[in-house]
Amino acid sequence: MAHKALDDFKARIRQLTRRPGGCSMAQVVEKLRSYLLGWKAYFGLAQTPKIWRALDEWLRHRLRSIQLKH
């Protein structure tokens, strides 16, 4: 995967998971769901398990920070 695609992905996730957004965790996950499903469908054929694992860890960290903030 290209670095620009990963940077765009992270920028969009940062936008959707801003901590002072005033949304519940369920609302944040619902917003993320459609974006993540589309992104995975597009890049799903890429044989890059390390990148997928790293993105998963990073995304879980973002969600934990929201949970702690609440």
Flag whether pLDDT at 60 surpasses 90.
yes
DSSP assignment of 40-51 equals HHHHTT---HHH
* Number of domains composing the chain: 1
Measured CA to CA, the distance from residue 49 to residue 64 in angstroms comes to 22
Burial class (CB in 10 A: 0-12, 13-18, 19+), 47: exposed
Model confidence over 5-48: pLDDT tens digits? 889 999 999 998 887 667 788 888 998 999 999 988 888 777 88
Residue 42 lies in domain: 3-69
pLDDT of residue 4: 92
CA dihedral for 10, 16, 22, 24, sign (positive or negative): negative
pTM as predicted: 0.78
**pLDDT confidence tier of residue 61, bands split at 50, 70 and 90:** very high
